[in-house]
Structure 1
Amino acid sequence: MTPGASPADCAARYLSPARSPLAGSAARRGWGGRRGKGWPLPGAFSPPPPVLPPPPPPPAPRSAPLRLHAATCKTGFPEDVYSAVLSQDVHEGQPLLNVKFSSCDGKRRVQYESSEPADFKVDEDGVVYAVRSFPLSSERARFLVYAHDRETQEKWQVAVSLSLQPASPGAAAQGPQEIEEIVFPRPPARSDGRLQRQKRDWVIPPINLPENSRGPFPQELVRIRSDRDKNLSLRYSVTGPGADQPPTGIFIINPISGQLSVTKPLDREQIARFHLRAHAVDINGNQVENPIDIVINVIDMNDNRPEFLHQVWNGTVPEGSKPGTYVMTVTAIDADDPNTQNGMLRYRILSQAPSTPSPNMFTINNETGDIITVAAGLDREKVHQYTLIIQATDTEGSPTYGLSNTATAVITVTDVNDNPPEFTAMSFYGEVPENRVDVIVANLTVTDKDQPHTPSWNAVYRISGGDPTGRFAIQTDPNSNDGLVTVVKPIDFETNRMFVLTVAAENQVPLAKGIQHPPQSTATVSVTVIDVNENPYFVPNPKIIRQEEGLHAGTMLTTFTAQDPDRYMQQSIRYTKLSDPANWLRIDPVNGQITTIAVLDRESPHVKNNIYNATFLASDNGIPPMSGTGTLQIYLLDINDNAPQVLPQEAETCETPAPNAINITALDYDIDPNAGPFAFDLPLSPVNIKRNWTITRLNGDFAQLNLKIKFLEAGIYDVPIIITDSGNPPKSNSSVLRVKVCQCDSNGDCTDVDRIVGAGLGTGAIVAILLCIIILLILVLMFVVWMKRRDKERQAKQLLIDPEDDVRDNILKYDEEGGGEEDQDYDLSQLQQPDTVEPDATKPVGIRRLDERPIHAEPQYPVRSAAPHPGDIGDFINEGLKAADNDPTAPPYDSLLVFDYEGSGSTAGSLSSLNSSSSGGEQDYDYLNDWGPRFKKLADMYGGGDD
């Protein structure tokens, strides 16, 4: 190795085309071009890879290990000239050789360029490949490769030399080329003899491996070894994704020889790069070398067709568009490497339907997929839609090596306003009844060739003449596009009998530029007004008259008539009264004269603010008859027809003149000047009025009444007061003021004693109180009676059913003889067989048991009437007992048996008369001795022998 060379330089020199068999090793390591479409890579497919010349002296064996040693780093190309010997002419996409740029810090990012870009290009990994196919000649044998630093803009260059190798007959017979080795780097020795620390940034050139390789597998890639294998027995291994991590098993290594192989075809679209790490350990597992990184790049092959994002693309273009108008963009993607020709797509239009007016109405940008117009004549009314078949081809559109796919582009020609609306007729006719609004008079129809229900088709109507007062309007029907002429203001037949309107129609949007048609169409509309019977109307309405109140009945007030607007119909009008709250007026049905039928009174409750309202109806004799109403307002002038009255009508004062007096005023229903000021006075008779009282006028509306004497006995006094108003003539009235004279305290107020004495209950209140007391007493008495009756019923119920006397509810003891039975409390005679029942004919007397159900027919009980009263419980019990005694089938069937008595008179009969198959003497009663001491007496009685 040359002293002072960097490890990267050493690696580059070792792998350079001038010093190593690049073509063979590159084929095995996958250092092939990435942009060739359809071009088989060397080492995997034919044609055979280019053959490089042997390295210059001193020759290095091909199996010489790759040794990386620390040295001074130099940025740039490690070689001045890269050369390659080719065994054939240059083909498109053919990888030629690999140039390597060395970066000391490893941070530079360079971009490669060729001095002959039309023939050669360099990818980002430094692989030089052919852009097109051509025969190699001397003028193309040399060119330059540039490297540009993207940040510092520095530039380096290196020469590339290509030459043809003459065909050798024995080339095919040569043996297989040896596999390249990668040797673990060794740290260089220092001057003092010690080892120098190894750097961590050793870079092993990546291994390029084409995807979809056909094998055979496993395919050997490279051999990894360590210099220490001469003295130690080593074991090699690789780790990382593709080896011992998912996806596992793709790469394997021979642990003894270090041979790294691939076991299956690779797919760049799944994994484009593998990062492995190689290890070397001794047989004890101890690490011998530091791990090294191995990068395997999967070289792309053209194995994926372009795929459109959508199978059907939709676009629009306005009709009449000029050539060059943008329509839409179609896009396809290719899973292959987009940085190579495998992923570079080109678009073209295969077909257009329909082909009118030109078969090439559109074109497409072969790189971007933009579709634009190239011909004029787009007319939606003729062709509203075009269908294009678009093809996308990779390898930059190569028809030989490229893969392609198709999609459909549907282009809709949108409408523009190139056709104005046109009326179907020049004149339209309609009629309308007078005084009607919101009535459709005429229906205007137009035609428009533009697309329906678009602004270019929707018509807008307007009235351009014949309607100065604005009585008509035109609305557009959104469905039919017709114009509806309507009346918006009432029309009087007597004023206007016919209208001739001028109407115009145009679209919502202006016509497109360059259209030669006029922008609007015009027509006339003749509207005839039809005369109809109208309502009569009063003039004026309301009518106001002024009259004094108090007019006598029969007085003619005014004439209230109506007019008929139908002057040409010669109709008559009749009048009737519609509303007259006080029933004061009458109207003549022919001439409309209004007269009084009662006296008009301004003070009537039907008069509001001096105005009386009456409503009248005017009806004509048309068909159908029409009517109108009018209001007559009578403003009533006041006259002095109401006498004043004293207010208040009741008052109270003290027995002495001091300290208070009574203030009074007057009430007059008339208004000024027939009301106040008032005059107050006392009558001359009776004489005690003026003797006891005196009145003093305070002002025109108020006066004061006082005692004239020093003391007046407490009581109620009626004091007449004469009040006179200011009318012309004045009107007087004598009103009575009821005055209560009472004892007063020091403050001049009536004492509480007088109020209490004076207070009392009326007759109605007393009667109500007495009625309440009587009702309360009746309720108490009824409650007492109800309680006594309930106690009596409860006692009777206890007599009827007494739980203590119900023998059937008790547990009877049958181990006692004699009178020990608990049912001895019953009257046993009631439980005996009645005398009316005959003994059973089949059994002798005394044999039948009384506690079994008789076999006689059950008697029919008589229907008992309900008890006359729940209180007669005794009769009820006796009646039931009697019915039970006469019923032989009624329970209980048992009877009280007396066991200590035999013979006649016993209801049980004689015990000796019982039938038995043997006599008592024949029985053996010795077994009674076995029953125990409790049966000793019984055993002695029956088993005692002679005793």
Structure 2
Amino acid sequence: SCGSRSIQDTTLRSYKTGFSHTAEEGKGGERKEEEEVKAPPEFQAPPTVIMFPRQQEIRSKGLRRQKRDWVIPPVNVPENSRGPFPQMLVSIRSDQDRNISIRYSITGVGADQPPNEVFSIDPVAGKMFVTKPLDRERRSSYHLRAHAVNMNGERVESPIDLYIYVIDMNDNRPEFKNQVYNGSVDEGSKPGTFVMHLAAFDHDDNTTANGMVRYRILSQTPHSPIPNMFTINSETGDIVTVAAGLDREKVSQYSIIVQATDMEGNLNFGLSNTATAIISVTDINDNPPELTSRTFSGEVPENRINVAVANLTVIDRDQPRSPNWNAVYRIISGDPIGHFTIITDPHTNDGMVTPVDFEQNRAFMLTVVVNNQAPLASGIQSSLQSTSGVTISVVDINEPPFFPTNPKSIRFEEGVPAGTSLTTFSASDPDRFMQQSIRYSKLADPAEWLSINTTNGQIVTTATLDRESIYVKNNIYEATFLAVDNGSPMASGTGTLQIYLIDVNDNAPSLLPRESQICERINRNAGINITAADSDTDPNVGPFVFELPTFPASIRRNWTVSRLNGEGTARCRLGGVSVLILGVLCVCVCVCVCVCVCVCVCVCVCVLCGVPGMVLVFVVWMKRREKERQTKQLLIDPEDDVRDNILKYDEEGGGEEDQDYDLSQLQQPDSLEHIISKPLGVRRVDERPIIPESQYPIRPAVPHPGDIGDFINEGLRAADNDPTAPPYDSLLVFDYEGSGSTAGSVSSLNSSSTGDQDYDYLNDWGPRFKKLADMYGGGEDD
């Protein structure tokens, strides 16, 4: 090996014909010259003195050029050096230092750039030093430039490049990303089956032995069936099976410790690290389920649901609650109709049998077979499927009677009299072997129209059936009946009877509206639209015929009726009746329609109203002064008054001559005495009404003048207490519209300045402004 002196005597020089690398051995051996020699950095010895290359002038064309330089060998520095620091690396010299004083410096990363001051140089002697230990894993090389200047700072040599390489040391162990790795392999796998992959990383140079990692298995737990069930590829880290015999039911998991070593696995010089690989043996369906007994038995009451008739137990060595373990039961004989279904309990894997109807069979003998959800793995030699016999006894219970037809529908015409037999609504008892009797009763009969025989279920009417009753919906009347047996305990069932009622013409038509008003002052020929309604249905409705009654004769003189459209609408018109202008005439036309005719305020008093006939009753209240029109003088002349909306009112007041009338005639007209004195008959619904029915109490005939006054006062109080009648007492709030006016002041209309204003144009505005024109235009004032 070369000593320190041999390295210090190494010199680089530039020659005219090429480059030379001269090395003086420790004993001053021979000098050897080579051209264009570039050895790899790890094989080149670092020089002790680095000389700046010489320059030579070329006379031709007056140009100066520098000859080619040798590539200066890099300086190799081992990492993690222990010093002492600073530690000298090389010396830099210029041939001109014999004549002038030279100052040396270095620049680049590690010198004057971060990380700063890793390298330094003696500016006078040119010796370059490393000031601290280097770490190849942080930075593997440095590129510096050496400079030579005179005392004035002028460059005397061209800068030269210096390359410093950090030599790697094996100072890093291989590292696994995880300490525990998980893998899996199916049970029964063949040798050579891939299981999992492990990888370790070494921060050292992977092109050298320092970073080359090798793997090996240190241990396996457990050792069953053999200690070496797995192996690992030393270079890739892949774990594969070595031998057959993996059985999850015996060993479900293996733990393997893997070691990674650098220096290509050299245990004497390399660094090592370990990790654990957990290998789970996954289940395959290599064990068919087996029933624990050859026979099973059970009993259950009939018609019970969601109960276990019999519990079937099974054994399966595969992984619980997996498709390879879950049992599927199937009945292969003894239940051709399908009364039973076996449900698997997901937690226990037991089978539960569902209930059955006792009336069909008393006992059952079933054959059950069991399998897994997943099919058996290929290559598994399975024996015969596991089967068992199941004996089931059914215990009879008292079942409730039932109505075979429920609901039961029948059809009858309405108006069926009481005592009519409609149908027999009987129930059946499913308990054929108990010989029980059934009794019947009503559960719901809204109209109380029906009764049922308690022994045979015959249904008889107790009242007349009416289709127009409120208890009939869509022509159907429903009643519910109860059937109870005499078992122990007793059981009952219900049935619904639906009676469809066919309509008959048993209802007279009625008129709408029941009451109306006509203001004769507004329209003397006004009319009322009336509509006929019938509770019956087709064909027992329409077309309707509208007529006025013949008595009293004044009805047909004063009223007319005409059809409007369709078959059920007509118009009743008032005509030919003499009504005073300011009087009140009230008319009540009863038998389904009441018409009030009034001038201003109408108060209807129906003395006698009834369906059998139409009665016309007039109650007249009229206060009128027949004096000559003696009104107060108006503000303007009548001929000048063009206000179309001003009404003149007569004075209302009077003396005894205004009360000269027979009050009894107003309270009870003579024309109705013969009607009132007649007894009321029985109303028939199939003919026109003749005799009226009293709807209002008859006012006692007391010929006292105060009676009509009380009548008026009552109407006045009713009007005063009506909050909806005008006028309304309320506070009117107007929005604030601002101060001032865009139209200016109206003070210009002052009469004192009439000389400046011309009001003659008011005469052109018509008679409405004549009075104003006379006042301001020079006319006469009244």
**Fold shared per TM-score above 0.5:** yes
The residue type paired with residue 576 of structure 1 is S
Deviation at 1:289, TM superposition (A): 1.8
Counterpart of 1:256 in structure 2 is 124
Deviations 1:329-363 (A, max 9, x none): 22222232111112112222233333332222222
| Residue 571 (str. 1) matches residue 436 (str. 2) | yes
The one-letter code matched in structure 2 to 1:564 is D
Matches of 2:211 and 2:24 in 1, distance apart? 28
Cα distance in structure 2, aligned partners of 1:320 and 1:67: 75
Matched, 1:322 2:190: yes
The question of 1:514 aligning with 2:392 is answered: no
What CA distance in whole angstroms lies between the structure 1 residues aligned with 2:720 and 2:569?
Answer: 48
Q: How far has the Cα of 1:244 moved from its partner?
A: 5.1
Say whether the 8 Å CA contact 2:6–2:24 is kept in structure 1.
no
One of 60, 68, 77 as aligned partner of 1:209: 77
Structure 1: how far apart are the matches of 2:35 and 2:713?
Answer: 137
Q: What is the distance in 2 between the residues matched to 1:703 and 1:366? A: 113
Q: Any idea what the Cα deviations from partners look like across 1:821-857, whole Å, max 9, x if unmatched? A: xxxxxxxxxxxxxxxxxxxxxxxxxxxxxxxxxxxxx
Distance in 2 separating the partners of 1:100 and 1:268? 32
Match of 1:233 in 2: 101
CA distance in 1, matches of 2:160, 2:414: 132
Measure the CA separation in 1 of the matches of 2:545 and 2:721: 53
Q: 1:84 to 1:390 in 2, by over 3 A?
A: farther
Pick from 306, 310, 318 the counterpart of residue 450 of structure 1: 318
* Alignment-derived partner of residue 358 in structure 1: 226
2:467 match: 602
Mapped partners of 1:621, 1:200: distance in 2: 130
| Corresponding residue number in structure 2 for 1:277 | 145
- Distance in 2 between the 1:392 and 1:343 partners? 11
Q: 1:398, 1:667 → 2: CA distance?
A: 116
Aligned to 1:427: 295
- Counterpart code for 2:428: Q
Summarize the alignment of residues 89-108 of structure 1 with structure 2, pairs less than 5 Å apart: none
Show the counterpart of 1:376: 244
1:632 paired residue number? 497
Compared with structure 1, are the counterparts of its residues 504 and 457 closer, same or farther at alpha carbon in structure 2 (3 Å cutoff)?
same
AA matched with 2:452: I
Aligned to 2:2: 24
Aligned match for 2:360, one of 495, 501, 515: 495
State the alpha-carbon separation in 1 of the partners of residues 80 and 549 from structure 2: 144
Aligned residue pairs: how many?
A: 606
- Residues 410 and 600 (structure 1 numbering): CA distance in 2 closer, same or farther, change over 3 Å? closer
Q: Secondary structure at the match of 2:2?
A: helix
C-alpha distance 687-227 of structure 1, shift in aligned 2 (>3 A)? closer
User: Quick one: distance in 1 between partners of 2:274 and 2:612?
Assistant: 122
Match of 1:411, SS state, is strand
Describe the shift of the 1:298–1:713 C-alpha distance in structure 2 as closer, same or farther (beyond 3 A): closer
- 1:324–1:373 CA contact under 8 A, matched in 2: yes
Q: CA deviation at 1:492?
A: 2.7
For 1:420, the aligned partner's letter is P
Which of 446, 451, 476 is the equivalent residue of 1:611?
A: 476
The 1:665/1:380 distance shift into structure 2, 3 A limit, reads: closer
What is the rounded CA distance, in whole Å, between the counterparts of 2:196 and 2:331 in structure 1? Answer: 43
Query: Could you tell me which residue of structure 2 aligns to residue 307 of structure 1?
Result: 175
Distance 1:100 1:416 in 2: 74
Letter in 2 for 1:736: M
TM-score normalised by L of structure 2: 0.66
Deviates more, 1:218-227 or 1:710-719: 710-719
Q: Which residue of 2 aligns with 1:944?
A: none
In 2 relative to 1, CA 260–625 (structure 1 residues): closer, same or farther, beyond 3 Å?
Answer: same
1:225–1:640 distance in 2 versus 1, CA, 3 Å = closer
Per the TM alignment, residue 466 of structure 1 is displaced from its structure 2 partner at its CA by 4.4
* C-alpha displacement of 1:324: 1.0
Within a 5 Å distance, the mapping from 1:292-303 to structure 2 comes to 292-303=160-171
Residues 458-480 of structure 1, C-alpha deviations (whole Å, 9 max, x = no match): 33444445444544434433322
**Is this contact kept in 2: 1:446–1:482, CA < 8 A?**
yes
Gap change, CA 1:196 and 1:458, over 3 Å in 2: farther
Moved more, 712-721 or 445-454: 712-721
Q: What stretches of structure 1 of length at least 5 have no aligned partner?
A: 1-22, 30-61, 87-98, 104-121, 129-176, 723-732, 743-751, 774-947
Q: Is the 8 A contact 1:654 1:741 kept in 2?
A: no
Please tell me whether residue 417 in structure 1 is matched to residue 363 in structure 2: no
Look up the equivalent residue of 1:238 and give its one-letter code. Answer: I
Amino acid at match of 2:13: R
Gap change, CA 1:213 and 1:713, over 3 Å in 2:
closer
Residue 562 (structure 1) aligns with: 427
- Per-residue Cα deviation, 1:3-26 (whole angstroms, up to 9, x for no partner): xxxxxxxxxxxxxxxxxxxx6389
Q: CA deviation at 1:513?
A: 1.9
Distance 2:570 2:718 in 1: 44
1:224-248 deviations in Å (ceiling 9; x for gaps): 1111111112233334444455555
Letter in 2 for 1:419: N
Change in Cα spacing, 1:65 to 1:540, as seen in structure 2 (3 Å) is: closer
Q: Deviations over 1:403-440 (max 9, x none)?
A: 33333333222222221222222333333433333333
Against the structure 1 CA distance between its residues 718 and 412, is the aligned structure 2 distance closer, same or farther, given a 3 Å change threshold?
closer
Q: Distance in 1 between matches of 2:413 and 2:304?
A: 44
Q: 2:270 aligns with which of 385, 394, 402?
A: 402
Letter in 1 for 2:464: V
Say if 1:639 and 1:452 are closer, same or farther in 2 by CA, change over 3 A: closer
Stretch of structure 1 that moved more, 505-514 or 376-385 = 505-514
Q: What SS class does the counterpart of residue 96 from structure 2 fall into?
A: helix
- Native 8 Å contact 2:88 2:130 kept in 1: yes
Q: 1:363 to 1:605 in 2, by over 3 A?
A: closer
C-alpha deviation, 1:364, in angstroms: 1.4
Contact 1:386 1:410 in 2 (8 A): yes
Partner amino acid, structure 2, of 1:534? E
What amino acid does structure 2 have at the position aligned with 1:735?
Answer: G
Where in structure 2 are the equivalents of 1:35-50 lying within 5 Å? none
2:614 to 723, 736, 739: 736
2: distance between equivalents of 1:219 and 1:694? 140
Amino acid aligned to 2:257: I
Q: In 2, Cα distance between the equivalents of 1:772 and 1:642?
A: 39
Q: Distance in 2 between matches of 1:654 and 1:367?
A: 121
Aligned residue number for residue 488 of structure 2:
623
1:581 aligns with 2:559: no
- Gap change, CA 1:360 and 1:588, over 3 Å in 2: same
Q: Is the 2:46–2:73 contact (alpha carbons within 8 Å) kept by the matching residues of 1?
A: no
CA distance in 2, matches of 1:410, 1:659: 110
> Are 1:338 and 2:338 an aligned pair?
no
Distance 1:315 1:360 in 2: 17
Cα distance, 1:537–1:69 mapped onto 2, change above 3 Å: farther
Q: Aligned in 2, Cα 1:485/1:289: closer, same or farther, shift over 3 Å? A: farther
Flag the 1:644–1:387 CA change in 2: closer, same or farther, 3 A: closer
| Alignment-mate amino acid for residue 575 of structure 1 | Y
Is 1:532 the equivalent of 2:397? yes
- Tell me the SS of whatever aligns to 1:576: strand
Shifted more, 196-205 versus 492-501: the winner is 196-205
Task: Check 1:639–1:480 CA distance in 2 against 1; reply closer, same or farther (3 A cut).
Answer: closer
Bigger Rg, which one: 1
Q: Distance in 2 between matches of 1:646 and 1:395?
A: 119
Q: Which residue of 1 aligns with 2:697?
A: none
> How far apart, CA to CA, are the structure 2 residues paired with 1:591 and 1:605?
30
- The 5 Å alignment of 1:709-728 reads none
> What is the match of residue 13 of structure 2?
67
Unpaired runs of 5+ in structure 2? Answer: 27-33, 593-610, 621-646, 653-708, 724-782
Q: Could you tell me how far 1:716 is from its partner in structure 2? A: 5.8
SS in 2 for 1:228: helix
Cross-structure match for 1:592: 457
Does the residue aligned with 2:97 lie in a helix, a strand or coil? helix
Residue 258 of structure 2 is aligned to residue 390 of structure 1: yes
CA distance in 2 between counterparts of 1:771 and 1:712 reads: 33
Matched with 1:550 is 415
Higher mean displacement: 226-235 or 420-429: 420-429
Q: Following the alignment from structure 2 to structure 1, what is the Cα–Cα distance between the partners of residues 123 and 59? A: 36
